[in-house]
Structure 1
Amino acid sequence: MSDLWPGERGTIKAKADFNVSEDVAALRKAIEGIGTTEKTLIDILTHRSSSQKQAISKAYEETTKRVNLCSLSDTLLNVCVFCVHIFPSFFILTFMQCFQGAGTDTNILIEILASRTNKQIKEMSAAFAEVIKKTPMQELKTEVSGDFGKAILLLAEGARDESTNVNADKAKEDAKALYQAGEKRLGTDESKFIEILCKRSIPHLRQTILEYKNISGKTLQKSIEKEISGDLEELLVAIVKCVMSTPAYFAEKIYKSMKGAGTDETTLTRVMVSRGEIDMLDIRAEFKKLYQRSLYKEISSDVSGSYGDCLKMICGGED
């Protein structure tokens, strides 16, 4: 399995002169010595690609017959665990979190499935099935229902068209169909929203969103928020946001995780780690554009200690 879709816009890069034995020795010294040298952990885990971290994790376990990170604080432990298990274990850990406790955490489901391509979803599904011995689809079918369930299952099976060609007339047709399924009628035809937003290609949807504004006079997001409610509303709005800009979608999630009293460290950790190797530079740019403040400064003022140091390393610098 390849790295977690690394891109040129990530802040975490593969180390050129990578030596797994040296890293394992350094980690053993940091973890197993008297007290934990957190700086060494942070430095290694935020300056290696996901495949390099998988190699380190495997070699560490083979050498020590254990993974001992228990002396870390809970917050730093979480970020280190996510860093080590970036892929495929990261997806499995994250996906299974949705089903822990009473009910299903639909927010995580929405984040995972609204922001990934068919290829990414299929890679994640294969990894999940290999470890859990059943597919995410099988798991989801027992957990979700109704219109939200239909939409989530369409995304989970990778049903989205992947054509890069955009037919302006068809985009207008879909925009008109969405208008007639929502604002133009009494009651809402949710199935039409699900069909179009969960199955059409991303370039096509981008054009459809523009055409919708011309027809309706308001944005598709505003119409969804007015016409649809609950988990389905949250999912469809997330799809629209990701169609327009996935980095902006994640910048908003990071901002909300730090806004107000207390910090949602689980969401903050998950997003920072999972996007660090993919598009963190773009997320930083969108964050600055949206909130007139650098992500690095926001992290510095919101979280502290080794946990804050780790997130700042993933962030990659000031803008």
Structure 2
Amino acid sequence: MSTLEKTATPRFSTSAKMSVWDDLDLLLDSPSSSSSLATTSKERGTVKDKVDFKVDEDVTALRKAIEGLGTTEKTLIDVLTQRSNAQRQLVASAYEKATGRKLVADLEGDTHGDFENLLVALVTPPALFDCNEVIRAIKGPGTTESILTEIFASRSNKQIRDMADTYLKETGRLMIHDLKSEVSGDYAKALLILAEGKRDESTSVDAAKAKEDAKILYEAGEKKWGTDEDKFIDILCHRSVPQLRQTLVEYKNISKKTLQESIESEMSGEVEKLLVAIVKCVKNVPAYFAERLFKSMRGAGTDESTLTRIIVGRSEIDLLDIKAEYKKLFGVSLHSELKSEVSGNYGEALMLLCGTED
């Protein structure tokens, strides 16, 4: 039984959870929808460019909030949550020109805890933010595989390549080399393929190839004694999203089980979690993130770093869709869940990014 099932409250709808991951009927109707890893549209974000945006006014407001006696957190929240990341970068640049100090350094000096982490995330370019999360996942004793799994299973090729370029610029080292020294076994095989950012991006679907791949997967898992993980890794980490969607349908036709169910029954550990995350993202990226958010607010304490990473990271991409999936899956709005789980300046900023109550 998953953590999500163990810790779910009565509001959680098991049937909704099962249907979103097991019902493949709608999968082939939306090969280029916002569920695709290759999404570039910003139409489904909760944060947009501010229409009457004036850099100088924002810089003046931030300076007054930071340089005055005590920090005016409300101003920091109002300015930084209501601008797009591109606009925040213009503000940060103008702020440094006007003060000789980096905005991120001033925010780190004047705020603390989860609120500080959220504001820093907001003024960080997306590729650098992802890069910092990867560094955080692999530094120190032990590796936080859940962060690596979430990032590499859900990002497009371009996002991964931009992250790798930023990583090299920031550390002077290749991201893939650092990952290689931190992860091992089948998990490493799969993660390192994803970290190359070379998934096929073709939008055409080869139905015969999908049937062939489904047969290979069935024979590598359900049909044999022991599992040939390499076959699963090769197909799931290389094929395009539309192609994999067709393969998922073909697999169920052959196996009578979903590919996710087969992976969960045939594998274990981090490689199982990574391959399941890939399958979930192929099916429905917003539902995958909705589930991650739900888990971050269940159990002993709230996982604020996951809340920050997902809500900031998806606020200009598909947070509207994530909110819709959250309501569908768990029978309660994300906004109201946040309201009961987080508080103070951090909670206020997070709820503004999340947008209005559904």
TM-score computed with the length of structure 1 as normaliser? 0.95
The alpha-carbon deviation at position 5 of structure 1 amounts to 5.1
Separation in structure 2 between the aligned mates of residue 145 and residue 84 of structure 1, nearest angstrom: 34
Q: How does 1:1-16 map to 2 (within 5 A)?
A: 7-16=42-51
Partner of 2:281: 242
Return the match for 1:176 from 198, 215, 219: 215
User: Cα deviation per residue 1:195-224 (whole Å; 9 max; x = unaligned)?
Assistant: 000001100111111111111111111110
Separation in structure 2 between the aligned mates of residue 301 and residue 65 of structure 1, nearest angstrom: 40
Partner of 1:196: 235
Provide the secondary structure at the position in 2 that maps to 1:148. helix
The alpha-carbon deviation at position 6 of structure 1 amounts to 5.7
The alpha-carbon deviation at position 134 of structure 1 amounts to 2.1
Q: How does 1:1-319 map to 2 (within 5 A)?
A: 7-66=42-101, 67-69=105-107, 70-319=109-358
Separation in structure 1 between the aligned mates of residue 217 and residue 139 of structure 2, nearest angstrom: 35
Q: Could you tell me which amino acid in structure 1 is paired with residue 43 of structure 2?
A: E
Return 52-61 or 261-270, whichever deviates more: 52-61
The alpha-carbon deviation at position 113 of structure 1 amounts to 0.7
Separation in structure 2 between the aligned mates of residue 131 and residue 59 of structure 1, nearest angstrom: 22
Separation in structure 2 between the aligned mates of residue 267 and residue 150 of structure 1, nearest angstrom: 25
Q: Could you tell me which amino acid in structure 2 is paired with residue 68 of structure 1?
A: D
User: Cα deviation per residue 1:142-162 (whole Å; 9 max; x = unaligned)?
Assistant: 222221111111111123111
User: Cα deviation per residue 1:117-152 (whole Å; 9 max; x = unaligned)?
Assistant: 112211221122222222211221222222111111
CA contact (8 A) 1:46 1:314 kept: yes
Separation in structure 2 between the aligned mates of residue 48 and residue 135 of structure 1, nearest angstrom: 32
Separation in structure 2 between the aligned mates of residue 282 and residue 222 of structure 1, nearest angstrom: 25
The alpha-carbon deviation at position 235 of structure 1 amounts to 0.5
Return 197-206 or 13-22, whichever deviates more: 13-22
The alpha-carbon deviation at position 166 of structure 1 amounts to 0.9
Separation in structure 2 between the aligned mates of residue 121 and residue 307 of structure 1, nearest angstrom: 28
CA contact (8 A) 1:175 1:215 kept: yes
The alpha-carbon deviation at position 256 of structure 1 amounts to 0.6
The alpha-carbon deviation at position 88 of structure 1 amounts to 3.0
| RCO comparison, higher one (Cα < 8 Å, 6+) | 2
CA contact (8 A) 1:91 1:128 kept: no
Separation in structure 2 between the aligned mates of residue 133 and residue 101 of structure 1, nearest angstrom: 18
The alpha-carbon deviation at position 73 of structure 1 amounts to 3.7
User: Cα deviation per residue 1:218-255 (whole Å; 9 max; x = unaligned)?
Assistant: 11111101111111001000000000011111111111
The alpha-carbon deviation at position 38 of structure 1 amounts to 1.2
CA contact (8 A) 2:154 2:285 kept: yes
CA contact (8 A) 2:205 2:246 kept: yes
Q: Quickly say closer, same or farther: Cα 1:187–1:154, change in 2 above 3 A.
A: same
Separation in structure 2 between the aligned mates of residue 86 and residue 294 of structure 1, nearest angstrom: 28
Gap regions ≥5 residues in structure 2 = 1-38
Provide the secondary structure at the position in 1 that maps to 2:110. coil
Q: Could you tell me which amino acid in structure 1 is paired with residue 49 of structure 2?
A: A
Q: What's the C-alpha RMSD, in Å, of the aligned pairs?
A: 1.4
CA contact (8 A) 1:177 1:192 kept: yes
Partner of 2:16: none
Provide the secondary structure at the position in 2 that maps to 1:108. helix
The alpha-carbon deviation at position 318 of structure 1 amounts to 1.1
Gap regions ≥5 residues in structure 1 = none
Q: Could you tell me which amino acid in structure 2 is paired with residue 154 of structure 1?
A: I
Provide the secondary structure at the position in 2 that maps to 1:88. helix
Provide the secondary structure at the position in 2 that maps to 1:102. coil
Separation in structure 2 between the aligned mates of residue 63 and residue 139 of structure 1, nearest angstrom: 37
Separation in structure 2 between the aligned mates of residue 14 and residue 270 of structure 1, nearest angstrom: 20
TM-score computed with the length of structure 2 as normaliser? 0.85
